Amino acid sequence: MSLASCLLLAAALFCVGLYGLLARRQIVAILLSIELMANAANLVFVAFGHYRGGALGQVFAVFSIALTVAEVAVGLALAMLLYRRHGDSRVELASEMKR
């Protein structure tokens, strides 16, 4: 596997995540999609680290994972909050404010 194919894979992963983010209506599914996108980024970090050498890629990936985790934790809490408020976690319900 070359760097290019790794990057292509990452891009595909990113797009899959993006598709999920836009298409899914359950908040938890949305969070998962975001996680996929973040992992695509991590893949790029790691791939560059592997093919170009140096610790930078790995270091960045570790930080990135930590950040994503923190973010998803907050996301889940918000999902809970909305679930309690609406009795469901469909994203359409959280659209009282608009225009």
Q: Which residues bind other proteins (CB under 8 A)?
A: 7, 10, 14, 17-18, 21-23, 25, 27, 30-31, 34, 37-38, 40-42, 44-45, 47-48, 52, 54, 56-57, 59-60, 63-64, 67-68, 70-72, 74-75, 77-78, 81-82, 85, 91-92, 94-99
Provide the minimum distance between the beta carbon of 21 and other proteins in the complex, in angstroms, as a whole number: 6
Which residues does residue 90 pair with via DSSP β-bridges, in sequence order? Answer: 26
Burial class (CB in 10 A: 0-12, 13-18, 19+), 32: middle
The H-or-E segment that residue 33 falls in is helix 27-52
